[in-house]
């Protein structure tokens, strides 16, 4: 290890102290005067001693840096694989919901939200699945939708879905209206969303509610 450190130190000398590798030849050349030989020898001996003592730490530091970089790369790859796996799970759940295989979709989404509790898209889709059961699991749908809105309060679709579930569960119209007002503000296409609200069957039980009527008229 000391010999390896010596070579590392000499290499550092050529880079940082402009030590010429010709100094090795100068030490043994009979044509060079004694002062030159002494100066070159001192440089090489000093670097060799320094390298012999510090080589182990230097090489260890380089090895640790390389290991840390490799570990980070491995973690990055694992993260990418997890993201891909998550996308597959959500896509499969959506396909099952489209095929009206609600119970299997719920099993996938419940496991997904357990493993990735901070992903609002999983909670939102789980709320949709609960709503499609027979009879609808509206309390579970509301809880899942609220979790999604807590994780991402700026997603208009999460707010709209939560408003639908609360309306179906006969929650006070003020709660539904507040969610819809925020959804309209956040929607990139408010005119389209207003049209959807006016024709949404989930709000049919509010058609006679004075507050809801005023809200619809004001859109």
Q: How far is CA 126 from the centre of its chain?
A: 21
The answer to whether 98 and 135 are in contact (CB under 8 A) is: no
DSSP tally for the chain: helices H, then strands E? 10, 0
Looking at residue 82, its pLDDT comes to 53
Which residues, other chains included, contact 49 with Cβ-Cβ below 8 Å and sequence gap of 6+? none
Looking at residue 87, its pLDDT comes to 81
Q: CA 107, 108, 109 angle in degrees (round to 5)?
A: 95
Looking at residue 119, its pLDDT comes to 96
Give me the tens of pLDDT residue by residue for the chain, a chain 219 residues long. 455 555 555 555 554 455 555 544 544 455 555 444 455 555 555 555 555 555 556 555 555 666 666 566 556 555 444 545 568 999 999 999 999 999 999 999 999 999 999 999 999 999 999 999 999 999 999 999 999 999 999 999 999 999 999 999 999 999 999 999 999 999 999 999 999 999 999 999 999 999 999 999 999
DSSP structural state of residue 110: H
Q: How far apart (Å, rounded) are the C-alpha atoms in residues 182 and 153?
A: 10
Q: How far apart (Å, rounded) are the C-alpha atoms in residues 219 and 197?
A: 10
Looking at residue 99, its pLDDT comes to 93
Q: How far is CA 108 from the centre of its chain?
A: 21
Q: How far apart (Å, rounded) are the C-alpha atoms in residues 165 and 176?
A: 9
Provide DSSP, 135-191: S--HHHHHHHHHHHHHH-TT-HHHHHHHHHHHHHTT--HHHHHHHHHHHHHH-S-HH
Burial of 192 (0-12, 13-18, 19+ CB in 10 A): exposed
């Amino acid at each position: 290890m000391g010999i390896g450190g010596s070579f590392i130190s000499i290499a550092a000398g050529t880079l940082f102290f402009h030590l010429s590798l010709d100094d090795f030849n100068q030490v043994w050349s009979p044509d060079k005067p004694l002062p030159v030989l002494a100066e070159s020898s001192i440089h090489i001996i000093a670097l060799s001693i320094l390298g012999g003592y510090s080589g182990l730490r230097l090489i260890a530091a380089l090895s640790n840096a390389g290991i840390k970089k490799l570990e980070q790369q491995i973690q990055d790859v694992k993260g990418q694989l997890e993201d891909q796996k998550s996308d597959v799970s959500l896509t499969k759940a959506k396909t099952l919901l489209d095929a009206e295989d609600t119970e299997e979709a719920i099993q996938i989404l419940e496991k997904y939200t357990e493993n990735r509790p901070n992903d609002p898209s999983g909670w939102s889709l789980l709320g949709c699945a609960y709503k499609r059961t027979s009879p609808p699991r509206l309390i579970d749908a509301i809880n899942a939708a609220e979790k999604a809105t807590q994780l991402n309060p700026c997603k208009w679709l999460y707010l709209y879905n939560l408003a639908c579930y609360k309306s179906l569960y006969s929650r006070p119209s003020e709660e539904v209206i507040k969610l819809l007002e925020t959804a309209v503000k956040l929607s990139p296409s408010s005119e389209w969303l207003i049209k959807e609200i006016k024709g949404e069957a989930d709000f049919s039980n509010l058609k006679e509610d004075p507050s809801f009527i005023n809200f619809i008229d004001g859109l």
